[in-house]
Amino acid sequence: MTTATSASTINYWPDNACARAFWGQQELPPYRELLADTTAWMDVAAGQRWLDLGCGSGQLTRALWEKSGGQVEEIVALDCAAANGRALRRLAQSIQPPDLDEHLHFLHADFSHGLAQCPDDSFAGVVSGLAIHYAESYDPTRRCWTTAAYERLLDDVYRVLQPGGQFVFSVCVPDPTWLRVAFSAIHGFFLSRNPFKYLKNAYRMMRYGGWLKQQARLGRFHYLPADRVAQLLRAAGFVAIEHRLSFARQAYLVRCRKPA
């Protein structure tokens, strides 16, 4: 998620504080709903290599590992925030079954620049949770944000997938209502082992959510209708595209494949 020479150049995503703010999102019921829905759609099998784009604290990486029974060959967890590398190292120490042969690897990279670090046809699957719509690109000639980086990222995901490979991801709906997410998370306060930390994390995520929504309205980030997402996926070459609502109905969960 690059910084552009425009009036709105602040980018919180690489910041450690922003990364830590989202470490607690797995406590929120809407996020647990999305995580469960995403996990159910992942067809992960023993011996496969997977890529987790915008991995955050690694909850989808954990889900891949556990769903495969620890039998995957490798999971590459990619994120632009270096702090998430520390989160992945802690996760690797707690997953079951234990990762004795170090199959989980963190890649510190910004997917707005593409996935040049990843060879062609190298992954059986790619998964991403509420991340890829933050691929950003600014056109200094037109003096506006564009979808070029987002479209390039979809092309790159297609490139790095093996034939028949699966892409499962979630993106925000247009103009998401963060208050609905907050209200859906209220009862989680009473279930949390540390309710005041829970509220603090919820507030911090709401604060960043306001920034994200504002930047999406400027065209920097891409909260697109489901039919537009499907159109971009078809243009990249994907087939068998389907979607459903999740995350308190504030996100689309999408599944598609690279043709075999």
Identify the helix (H) or strand (E) that includes residue 54.
Answer: none
**Could you tell me the two tokens for 244?**
């459903």
The predicted structure's pLDDT at residue 30: 87
User: Could you tell me the CA-to-CA distances from 203 to 15, 143, 198 in Å, in that order?
Assistant: 17, 33, 9
* Torsion sign (Cα): 70, 76, 79, 84: positive
Q: Can you give the pTM of this predicted structure?
A: 0.88
Q: What is the mean pLDDT of residues 160-183?
A: 88
Match 């039919």 to its residue by tokens: 227
Among 2-16, 58-72, 84-98, where is mean pLDDT lowest? 2-16
- Our measurement of the distance from residue 166's CA atom to the centroid of its chain's CA atoms, rounded to an integer in Å, reads 15
**Nearest partner of 233 among 220, 245, 224, judged by Cα:** 224
Q: Let me know: does 258 contact 163? Beta carbons within 8 Å.
A: yes
Confidence label for 18 from pLDDT (cuts 50, 70 and 90): confident
**Nearest partner of 30 among 248, 235, 258, 224, judged by Cα:** 248
Percent of the chain topping pLDDT 90: 71
The predicted structure's pLDDT at residue 54: 96
Among 48-52, 117-121, 205-209, 210-214, where is mean pLDDT lowest? 205-209
The predicted structure's pLDDT at residue 85: 94
Structural domain boundaries of the chain?
16-257
The predicted structure's pLDDT at residue 2: 43
Q: What is the mean pLDDT of residues 150-177?
A: 96
Q: Let me know: does 184 contact 248? Beta carbons within 8 Å.
A: yes
Q: What is the mean pLDDT of residues 96-115?
A: 94
Q: Tell me: pLDDT of 191 over 60.
A: no
Q: Tell me: pLDDT of 237 over 60.
A: yes
Name every residue whose Cβ is closer than 8 Å to that of residue 80 and which is 6 or more positions away in sequence: 1, 13, 14, 54, 108, 109, 110, 111, 112
The predicted structure's pLDDT at residue 17: 77
As a whole number of angstroms, the distance between CA 17 and CA 3 comes to: 17
Q: Tell me: pLDDT of 197 over 80.
A: no
Confidence label for 169 from pLDDT (cuts 50, 70 and 90): very high
Q: Tell me: pLDDT of 160 over 70.
A: yes
Q: Let me know: does 2 contact 110? Beta carbons within 8 Å.
A: yes
Query: Parallel, antiparallel, or unpaired for β 123-129 and 49-53?
Result: parallel
Average per-residue pLDDT for the chain: 88
Q: Let me know: does 84 contact 56? Beta carbons within 8 Å.
A: yes
The predicted structure's pLDDT at residue 182: 60
As a whole number of angstroms, the distance between CA 80 and CA 9 comes to: 16
Q: Is 246 left (phi over 0), alpha (psi -120 to 50) or beta?
A: beta
Q: What is the CATH number of domain 16-257?
A: 3.40.50.150
The predicted structure's pLDDT at residue 4: 43
Residue 254's φ and ψ, nearest 5 degrees, are -125, 140
Q: Is 25 left (phi over 0), alpha (psi -120 to 50) or beta?
A: alpha
Q: Tell me: pLDDT of 56 over 80.
A: yes
